[in-house]
């Protein structure tokens, strides 16, 4: 199985509130359909960030850090609605391209403890996969035993599912954004990262561009390094989703430019 995340910076303009990049989403949907046509046995779990929808809604309320007041709970509901609005756009585009996506709302079952995702009902995801569907998840709000409420990123969900899904367990995770990979201090792509590289990388990795309440590249790379240390059979690829055709090639297992994170 291959997990594919369409980053919020790729499918929306994170510098402008509520701005989806419809043409980009439609192209990515066609590329997934093309890969499925070429390799019918391909199993995909799809996810996307909330970009200028969820992040802009969450920023005024500090939703990621906790939800306690009535105003914050109103914000919690607004963030959920904003994330679902973008998900509807993505779902419609993929269905139109012939990809049998089934949107599954994470907040319907997700439970966290102090920002850590501890439970997500995997049964609908496993059922969807068994029937040849492509489960579609996304960054969303979640109830939290300590914080009241919080936000879970698509990476949070992918990491949880990589541990929870025994059949099938993912072998690759593709993270598509609008940069060519993980960049060093000179702006050059780092082709390969493994767990021992993390201390040196922290000094050169920057945060996310635009409004991002779930952490930037430092958090993304750190979390993925933890995952591949735990499951060495998993490889993570960070790549530029703005390059036409790159997603199809990556899904087919071809060598693609970007950064590979492995154990």
Whole-angstrom Cα distance, residue 109 to residue 147? 17
CATH of the domain at 13: 3.40.1160.10
Tens of each residue's pLDDT in the chain, 263 residues: 999 999 999 999 977 888 999 999 999 999 999 999 999 989 999 999 998 898 778 889 999 999 999 999 999 999 999 999 999 999 999 999 999 999 999 999 999 999 999 999 999 999 999 999 999 999 999 999 999 999 999 999 999 999 999 778 899 999 999 999 998 888 899 999 999 988 888 777 655 455 444 457 788 888 999 999 999 999 999 999 999 999 999 999 999 999 999 98
Strands 116-119 and 111-113: antiparallel
* Predicted local distance difference test score (pLDDT) of residue 215: 53
pLDDT computed for residue 49 by the predictor: 94
Torsion angle (degrees, nearest 10) of CA 39, 257, 55, 208: 160
pLDDT of 15 reads: 79
Q: Per the structure, how many domains does the chain have? A: 1
pLDDT digits (tens, 9 = 90+) for 48-78: 999 889 877 888 999 999 999 999 999 999 9
C-alpha to C-alpha distances, 66 to 108, 151, 171, 209, nearest whole angstrom: 18, 9, 34, 23
Give the distance from CA 183 to its chain's centroid: 19
Cα–Cα dist 173/146, whole Å: 30
Classified as helix, coil or strand, 21 is coil
Measured distance CA(239)–CA(190) in Å, rounded: 11
Residue 218's pLDDT is what?
80
Beta strand segments in the chain, E: 2-6, 44-48, 101-103, 111-113, 116-119, 134-138, 140-144, 148-152, 172-177, 192-193, 235-240, 259-261
Contact (CB, 8 A) for 110 and 119: yes
d(CA 98, CA 25): 13
Provide the domain limits for residue 253.
Answer: 2-261
């Amino acid at each position: 199985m291959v997990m594919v995340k369409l980053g919020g910076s790729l499918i929306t303009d994170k510098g402008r509130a509520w701005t989806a990049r419809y043409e980009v989403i439609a192209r990515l949907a066609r590329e997934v359909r093309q890969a499925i046509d070429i390799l019918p046995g391909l199993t995909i779990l799809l996810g996307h960030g909330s970009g200028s929808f969820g992040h802009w809604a969450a920023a005024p309320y500090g939703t990621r850090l906790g939800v306690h007041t009535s105003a914050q709970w109103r914000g919690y509901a607004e963030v959920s609605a904003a994330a679902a609005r973008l998900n509807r756009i993505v779902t419609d585009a993929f269905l139109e391209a012939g990809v049998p996506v089934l949107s599954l709302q994470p907040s319907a079952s997700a439970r966290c403890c102090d920002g850590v995702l501890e439970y997500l009902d995997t049964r609908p995801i496993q059922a969807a996969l068994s029937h040849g569907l492509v489960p579609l998840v996304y960054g969303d709000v979640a109830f939290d035993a300590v914080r009241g409420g919080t936000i879970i990123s698509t990476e949070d969900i992918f990491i949880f599912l990589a541990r929870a899904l025994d059949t099938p367990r993912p072998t690759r995770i593709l993270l598509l954004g609008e940069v060519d990979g993980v960049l060093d201090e000179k702006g050059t792509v780092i082709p390969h990262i493994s767990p021992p590289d993390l201390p040196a990388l922290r000094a050169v990795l920057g945060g996310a561009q635009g409004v991002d309440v779930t952490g930037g590249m430092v958090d993304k790379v750190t979390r993925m390094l933890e995952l591949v240390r735990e499951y060495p059979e998993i490889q993570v690829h960070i790549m530029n989703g703005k390059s036409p055709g790159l997603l199809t090639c990556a899904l087919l297992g071809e060598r693609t430019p970007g950064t590979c994170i492995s154990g």
